[in-house]
Structure formats: C-alpha cells, structure tokens
Amino acid sequence: MLLAAAREQFARHGFHGAATAAIARDAGCSEAVLYRHFASKRDLLLATLEREIGGRIDEGRAIAPTPGAAMPDALPGVLRERLDDPDMWITVRLILLSIAMTDDPEVGEIMRGWFGRVRAPLAAALEAGQAAGTVRDDVDAETLTWLWHGLMLAGAVRDAIARDGAARASLDAAEVLAGLLRPPG
C-alpha cells in the first residue's frame, strides 16, 4: 500500500512535492510505519521506481514487442499499446522524475541499469530480425534500439504532459521508422 500511494504522490507532485505524511495517509498508516519500512524518502522513491519500471519490464509492458513478433512491423503496435495504457502517464512521470535525479550517484546507476534492461529485449529482437533478413543489417542494432526508445519516450512524454491524445501522431513516426528498418527490395 505504501508503494502504491508513493507511486501516485511522486507521479503527481515530484520528489520534493510528495510529502511522506500524504503517502502514509494514502496508504492508511502513520509516517512512523512508513519509516519502519523505508529508511528515507529517497529509498521509498527507489523502491517505487523498481516496482514501476521493473514491473513493466517483467510483465512485457516496456518498449519491446512480445517475443517472436515480426520485426520491424510489430513496433508501431507496441507504441499504440503503450499509448493506450491508462497507467503509462504515471510511469512516464516517474521516469522523468528519476532522470532528473540522475546526478545522485545511486539513482543514476539504477536508471542506467533500467535503461539497459528495457533496451536489451528490443536489441535482441532487432538483432534476430537482422539475422532473419527482416530488418536492415547496415545499421547497428543498438543504434536502432536507441532510436526506438527515444520515439517511444517522446510519444509517451507528450501524452503524459498534455493528456490530449496528440501523442497519437507519434504513431506516424513509428510507421516511418518501421519502414526505414525494412531491408530494401
């Protein structure tokens, strides 16, 4: 309950704006109970981020298509699914919050690890597509992964900020990227 309350408070108010008293109240406990579970507000944030980002990775709700999906044709569908996810705006706000805190050595190290975990399945899928001849092989898979990661994040950030549906225009960019990834001929 503490992590669920912290997720909402950190996403809505940021690290400095989220009050531990409000998190404890929303979780139905006292601040003393909160601090028995977490040594600091920062530790609570890190646990919240691990649950949010790690959960998305573990549940296959990050940036990679499902294993075995046809590459690169599956990519636009992944973006569509993420933009249709009603909780994605919370995830994106938490990601942005954590990126803003990467000057903290521990937060920075953890974020670099998550970004690697998020990109690894996509890089593997792109490499498999290159080996199968469905993805052009003249561009490094890691570069392609960063391009896709950036497009996904840009569309999701636009949606999280405005919440007006305009991020759906990024689906056109996803179609263009998928087309560029197909081998010529």
Q: How far is residue 177 from each of residues 53, 139, 173, measured CA to CA in Å?
A: 25, 13, 6
Model confidence pLDDT, tens digit, residues 75-117:
999 988 988 888 888 998 898 898 889 898 988 898 889 888 8
Cα(102)–Cα(46) distance, integer angstroms: 12
Residue appearing with tokens 């003249």: 138
Map out the domains of the chain as residue ranges: 41-181
Q: Which class is domain 41-181?
A: mainly alpha
Instruction: Give 181's pLDDT tier (boundaries 50, 70, 90).
Output: very high
| pLDDT tens-place string over residues 37-87 | 999 999 999 999 999 988 988 888 888 888 888 889 999 999 889 888 888
- Alpha-carbon distances, residue 138 vs 146, 179, 181 (angstroms): 16, 14, 10
Dihedral sign, CA of 54, 55, 58, 61?
negative
**CB count, 10 Å around CB of 55?**
12
Tokens of residue 27, six digits: 């979780």
